[in-house]
């Protein structure tokens, strides 16, 4: 579906600027690698560092960002698709972060036509934030890759497991075939120690460079941390449940690293740029 991969990249041009606005998709080659937890806690870490953040759950049909955050928003993307309200109406504030909750168990979201996906994000440019983080679904389905390609930057989450690394590589291969200039970042989750994380990161980035001619920016790693599992059971973000946990410290390091990177501007920055890229993929 090259058409779809071309039409979801252009839905308006420049977002209003006070600071540089950035739209970042957080994705993974396979499920179960901790992508949604990382998205939620990165949003909180960026907020801690003084940034205005919006977090959108774009795992259409299987959304669970609200569960990770321990919130029960009155409306989700499901109501937007059913024309019961606009996207602006469903923005929910949690822990200082603006959250747009997805809809879980809704077949109409999982099988959303391209035109409906555009409608879904139509009002999104009105949301004012420094960072617009999008938690996508996992894998290489057209819906996942279209949303990822519409962002300025993509954070790929993996674990040291061979299956996760293989799927992360496949995802990057698919994305860069459609946009060779995409800015890519890598986060290694559940690393046994720093040495393992560095080795996995180094090998992955080298292989991507050698075989795909793609530069992947290593953002950092998150150690295996039992406190993260405890936070999940509490249905509360790690940064709030256990702010001094080793994984929480590394998430703050990753957020600082992400905030310090220079983002490219092709279609414009921020959410309007995201919408512009989204529209171009549907042309």
pLDDT of residue 204: 99
How would residue 280 be classed by pLDDT, with cut points 50, 70 and 90? low
How would residue 1 be classed by pLDDT, with cut points 50, 70 and 90? very low
How would residue 5 be classed by pLDDT, with cut points 50, 70 and 90? very low
Q: What would the pLDDT profile of 85-94 be if each residue is shown by its tens digit?
A: 888 888 999 9
What are the tokens at 207? 């292989």
Q: What would the pLDDT profile of 62-87 be if each residue is shown by its tens digit?
A: 778 999 999 998 888 878 877 888 88
H or E element in which residue 219 lies: strand 216-223
Q: What would the pLDDT profile of 130-147 be if each residue is shown by its tens digit?
A: 999 999 999 999 888 988
pLDDT of residue 61: 65
Cβ-in-10-Å burial (0-12, 13-18, 19+) of 200 comes to buried
CB 63 within 8 A of CB 104: yes
Q: Kindly tell me if the per-residue pLDDT of 189 is higher than 90.
A: yes
pTM confidence score? 0.85
Q: Kindly tell me if the per-residue pLDDT of 11 is higher than 80.
A: no
pLDDT of residue 124: 72
How would residue 16 be classed by pLDDT, with cut points 50, 70 and 90? very low
CB 248 within 8 A of CB 216: no
Which one, of 20, 37, 15, lies nearest residue 28 by Cα? Answer: 37
Q: Kindly tell me if the per-residue pLDDT of 104 is higher than 70.
A: no
Q: Kindly tell me if the per-residue pLDDT of 178 is higher than 80.
A: yes
pLDDT of residue 77: 81
Q: What would the pLDDT profile of 233-247 be if each residue is shown by its tens digit?
A: 999 999 999 999 999
Which one, of 273, 261, 160, 269, lies nearest residue 216 by Cα? Answer: 261
Higher pLDDT, 224 or 58: 224
The structural domains of the chain, ordered by start, are 4-281 (3.40.50.300)
Chain-wide mean pLDDT for the chain?
85
pLDDT of residue 150: 84
CA atoms within 13 A on the CB side of 52: 11
């Amino acid at each position: 579906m090259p058409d779809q991969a071309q039409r979801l990249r252009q839905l308006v041009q420049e977002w209003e600027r006070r600071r540089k606005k950035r739209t970042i998709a957080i994705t993974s080659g396979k499920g179960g690698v901790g992508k949604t937890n990382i998205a939620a806690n990165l949003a909180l870490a960026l907020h801690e560092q003084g940034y205005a953040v919006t977090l959108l759950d774009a795992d259409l049909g299987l959304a669970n960002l609200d569960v990770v955050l321990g919130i029960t928003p009155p409306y989700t993307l499901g109501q937007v698709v059913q024309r019961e309200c606009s996207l602006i109406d469903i923005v929910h504030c949690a822990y200082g972060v603006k959250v747009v909750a997805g809809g879980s168990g809704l077949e109409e979201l999982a099988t959303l036509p391209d035109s409906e996906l555009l409608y879904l994000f139509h009002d999104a440019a009105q949301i004012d934030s420094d960072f617009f983080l999008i938690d996508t679904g996992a894998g290489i389905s057209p819906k996942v890759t279209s949303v990822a390609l519409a962002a300025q930057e993509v954070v790929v989450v993996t674990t040291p497991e061979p299956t996760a690394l293989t799927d992360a590589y496949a995802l990057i291969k698919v994305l860069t075939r459609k946009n060779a200039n995409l800015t890519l970042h890598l986060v290694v989750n559940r690393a046994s120690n720093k040495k393992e994380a560095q080795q996995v990161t180094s090998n992955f980035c080298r292989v991507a460079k050698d075989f795909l001619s793609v530069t992947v920016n290593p953002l950092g790693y998150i150690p295996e941390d039992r406190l993260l599992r405890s936070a999940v059971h509490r249905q509360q973000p790690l940064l709030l449940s256990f702010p001094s946990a080793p994984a929480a410290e590394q998430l703050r390091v990753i957020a600082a690293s992400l905030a310090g990177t220079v983002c490219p501007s092709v279609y414009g920055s921020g959410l309007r740029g995201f919408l512009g890229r989204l529209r171009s993929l549907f042309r």
